[in-house]
Amino acid sequence: MTRAEKAKRIGEILDRLYPMPPIPLHHGNAFQLLVAVVLSAQTTDAQVNRVTPALFRRAPTPQALAQMSETDILKLIRSCGLAPGKARRLKQLGQALLDQHGGEVPADMEALETLPGVGHKTASVVMNQAFGQAAFPVDTHIHRLAARWGLSKAKDVEQTERDLKKLFPPEEWGKRHLQIIYFGREHCPARNHDQAECPICSWASSRSAAAKPPLSKRR
């Protein structure tokens, strides 16, 4: 089975399981989504969703966020991983949006990537989920599953992103990103995973393929 054939079958399974995958981070606009994605590093989406309501009440705009002290931001996000650094970057982010973009979140990948605390993956999420632009955000979880399923042999997320973009059409990128995240959580964990019971790994993983001898050698 070629990678393209495998990707098509995987897409069909994902569409059946998650026909309309919801965006997991709660937000009301592009600014709130950007802040939530910055907070999500080394933190679960559920935990981010617990802290953002209070943060957004205090800082509904970039200007309000820039005016908060790092100490006050930290008090609201302390339960998130890497909270001190995130508090510092969020304050810087609010100020950068004011100084460089008139208090608006830019709908431009390169501009987003220059903002404090915003890397390529975060920018991709915002471009796709806030602005509806074709983007395929790839984090370490999607990188792991792409390798497990034989869709990419890349050693880094950047090459995995390029590989997946070749296998799926642009109009599917955002949906596939969310579907793979949900599938990984519910069916394909990193540890203690029974590949034989997995709807995808049971036939797609290299380990599964290696476990099955050619038909001519089976008894």
Q: Quick count: other Cβ atoms within 10 Å of Cβ 26?
A: 16
Residue with tokens 């983007």: 135
- What are the residue numbers of the active site? 121, 139
What is d(CA 126, CA 177) in angstroms, rounded to the nearest whole number?
A: 13
Q: How far is CA 95 from the centre of its chain?
A: 25
SS3 1: coil
Provide CB contacts within 8 A for 110, sequence distance 6+: none
Phi, psi of 153 (to 5 degrees): -110, 15
